[in-house]
Structure formats: structure tokens, C-alpha cells
Amino acid sequence: MLKDYSGKRNFSRTPEPGPEQQPEAEGPLTFVVQMHAARRLHYDFRLEVDGVLKSWSVPAGPSLNPDVKRLAVMVEDHPLDYASFEGVIPAGQYGAGQVIVWDEGDYSPDEEGKFHFADRQKAQEQMREGLAKGKLSFSLRGNKLKGSWTLVRMKSGPEQWLLIKHRDDFASSTIDILGKNASVASGLTIEDIKSGRKPDSPPFSSAKLSELPGVIQAPFPAIESPMLATSAGAPFSNPDWLFEPKLDGYRTIAMVQNGKTRLLSRRGQDVTAKYSGVVEGLRRQPAAQLALDGEIIALDERGKLCFQCLQSYLETMNRANIQDHNITAIIYYVFDLLYLDGYDLHNVPLVLRKRALERVLYPSKQVRFLEHFEGDGVAIYQSAVGQGLEGVIAKQKHSLYRPGQRSADWLKIKSTQTDDFVIGGYTEGTGNRGRTFGALLLGN
């Protein structure tokens, strides 16, 4: 299957991977797009099928505009190891020039809107049928390329195909995706490679779930309990930590299995019925099995976080709608990935869980990825407080997820403001506060 690949290369002179075919892998099928500055700059689009990378050369690169049809010339199959290749193919060798991993991820055929991320056999069966028919439809979970795409063979010849973006939430006639020109593996650009720069470490791929350190194959969990943070007194800076804005909402675990979604509160109560919009956003996620950790928040008419608005909405949700409480949106901000398509990620280091989460999550109006920041933790904290947030959550980059435990690997750093008030009354508590009070009436 790799005879053509081997026949075009002298492996004593090129650093490209040899033609050895890899054993059958586990987990979802993978894809890679490599930016290749040969005689002409082009993009090599590669899909894993039956132990090799089916490959197309796309001269103009992929476009997010469904009205733009990119020529894709089918070339020889490449070995799976080629997906991580970055560097220089020497002069005089086939394809001489610089190569970077422009994008990578996993994918599934999506005929009739059905995904097979957790079923390699079914996915490859559909890909074989599509290759024979000359039409492939598939969904990508990449760092840059997401959503549904198609490859269609032209009548002008068996190697001539068209790469086209389907119309979905990721289609755009204005975004130039090629402007993001750095490698997702090393952060280097083609110009960096030309100047002699090399990656600081071997490129690591989050696309292969089965190869993430600490990952295990396991049944889908029946329930999840959130990991909890320990209080810290003051902000700090440390390169081994990352920082998330502390949101004022309700901690929520999302369990998605075969199109059915359950939302669980911090104490394990089923709150699915309270957030229909969030459920719809999760239903559209391209995964057979998914467990997420995050926070549900509400935005007021000014677009600001409003915990009181969310409380009021939940207390009267059977008698009112969002607009009655001046809420413009209820959003589930996701910050952790606990389970994905047959794989338990609890023992995967946090920074790699986040990298995988950002790649696989399809953001929408109701479901979004919570950005995190690295660097000066004190400045990040001050910026968060300056924007009206409570503070930040500091997390050790290599921390593992410990369900239900309060850990010093996660620290909540809140802005505390004090003053003297007179308590004039209170309201009865509802929900989790049913045995206490709901709110205080204060004066000064």
C-alpha cells in the first residue's frame, strides 16, 4: 500500500518517516493538514484509513467558505508516522522544502448526520465506500478546522477532487483560516523552519486519544462528581500554573451519551430540565460519549455576569422566560474534559485535557470553551477583578482530576470587599437552600 511512497524517496537522505505500515490503532480516526513549501506552497490534507494516510495536495489550502471549491489532487498514501513530521526535506529529494503540522485532529464520516468517532470499524467501512464512489463526507475535530466537509472526485480524472466546506456553524465567507499560519504541534511557522529553527521538543499530538499519558479505556461513567478547589489568600505567579476567570454561576457536570444529555449539579442532582438551550448545544457535539465539567452562568441586558438573574430565572422558570428577568443568554462555559468516546481522561494532565477539549468542543451560543491564561498570575487576577469578576481559579498545569475531592492543585482566589450593613430581613430559601434563607435585605 506504501509502494508508491517508498519508490519516490531515498530514506538515507530524507528525514521523512520510512514506509513501515503501522499496526491497527485504537480510538477515533485521525487527520492532519501539513503546510508544505515545496516548489510552490501548498497544503497536504491527509485522512487515516486502514492503517495509512490517504492524501490530497490542496494548492490553495482549505477554505471555510462553502461557495469556494478547492482543487485537491490525490497523491500517494503516506505512513501514519508522517502525521507528526515537521522539518526540511533536502534539496534533490521528492517534495524538497519545509513542512509544518498546520492542523491535526480526529474525524468521522458523517453521512446522514451520524458520527462514528467511537467505532473505527464502521468509520473505515464508510470511508472505503466513499472512496470507491468518489464522494466523502466527514466531520473534523481539529484545532483550526472543525465541522463538516466533503471531498468530491471530478470527472476529469481519478486524482482530481474538490475539497468543500459544508454549510454549518463553522462555515464563513469572511474568516481567512489560512491566516493562522503557525504549527499546532510546535508553534513554528514555515519562515521559522527556513531560518533554521527547530522545535524545542518532539511534537506531541492530542489527536490520538489512545496515546495521551494516563488515559485508559473504560465504560462510560454513570455519574461524575466535580473536583473542588481550595481557598487561597492572595494571587501569585508561577509558570507551572494556569489561571481561569472565576465565574459566578452554578457548577455543572454534563454527561452526553448517544445523543442523550444529562446535566448534574455539584451535589449530583439532575438539573437537565432547567437548561433546555444548553442541552440543545450539547446534543450537537460531535461525540458518541462525552463527560464535561463547567459552569452555567447568565448574562444580563448589558452582557454582564448576573448570578441574581440566574437565581431568579430558576425560581420562576415554570412561570416566566429568560427575557422576563432581563437575561440575554444562559451559557455553559466548559473548562474540563473527563471522558471522550470510550476513554477516561481523569489521569491525563490538565494541560493535555484542556488541549483535547478545545480541539473537540464545537462552541455555540449556549456552550463555550472557557479560556485560560498563563503568565503573570497577579496581573491576570487584577484584570479579572477589574472586569467585575470574583477573581480567578489557579490550576496546576499537570494536575490530575480527582472527582469529589478538594485539592490544593486547584486554588480559588477571590476578591474580598467588606463593609458594615444592617440586616433588615430575609427571604426563604429554595432548592439547595430550602432549609436556610435565600437572600438578605441589607441597609447601611
pTM of the model: 0.86
Mean pLDDT in residue range 398-406 = 97
Q: What is the pLDDT of residue 418?
A: 46
Let me know how long the chain is: 444
Q: In whole angstroms, what is the distance from residue 302 CA to residue 332 CA? A: 18
Numbers of helices and strands, H then E, in the chain:
7, 22
Q: What is the pLDDT of residue 376?
A: 95
Of 110 and 429, more confident: 110
- Could you confirm whether domain 217-416 is CATH 3.30.1380.10? no
Q: In this structure, which amino acid lies at residue 422?
A: V
| 28-84 residue pLDDT tens | 999 999 999 999 999 999 999 999 999 999 999 999 999 999 999 999 999 999 999
Annotated catalytic residue 194: no
Q: In whole angstroms, what is the distance from residue 156 CA to residue 154 CA? A: 5
Please tell me which residue in 208, 246, 274, 354 is annotated as part of the active site.
Answer: 246
Cβ-based neighbours of 244, under 8 Å, separated by 6 or more = 335, 370, 371, 372, 373, 392, 393, 395
| 125-147 residue pLDDT tens | 999 999 999 999 999 999 999 99
Q: What is the pLDDT of residue 409?
A: 98
- Please write down the long-range contacts of 368-373, taking CB distance under 8 Å and 24 or more positions apart: 368/331, 368/332, 368/333, 368/334, 369/333, 369/334, 369/335, 370/244, 370/245, 370/247, 370/294, 370/295, 370/333, 370/334, 370/335, 371/244, 371/245, 372/242, 372/243, 372/244, 372/335, 373/242, 373/243, 373/244
How many CB atoms lie under 10 A from the CB of residue 28?
Answer: 31
Q: What is the dihedral of CA 404, 405, 409, 415, to 10 degrees?
A: 80
Q: What is the pLDDT of residue 5?
A: 96
Q: In whole angstroms, what is the distance from residue 227 CA to residue 272 CA? A: 20
**Residue 44 grid coordinates:** 497536504
Q: What is the pLDDT of residue 309?
A: 86
Q: What is the pLDDT of residue 49?
A: 96
Residue span(s) of the chain under CATH 3.30.470.30 come to 217-416
Weakest-pLDDT range from 298-307, 342-351, 404-413: 298-307
| 255-288 residue pLDDT tens | 999 889 999 999 999 999 999 999 999 998 999 9
Q: What is the pLDDT of residue 233?
A: 86
**Residue 199 grid coordinates:** 522545535
pLDDT at 433 over 60: no
| 160-208 residue pLDDT tens | 999 999 999 999 999 999 999 999 999 999 999 999 998 776 656 667 8
List beta partners, residue 217: 343
| 323-350 residue pLDDT tens | 555 678 899 999 999 999 999 999 999 9
* Average model confidence (pLDDT) across the chain: 91
Q: 3-class DSSP state for residue 192?
A: helix
Mean pLDDT in residue range 386-404 = 95
Q: What is the pLDDT of residue 201?
A: 65
Mean pLDDT in residue range 107-126 = 93
What's the pLDDT band for 422 if we cut at 50, 70, 90? Answer: low
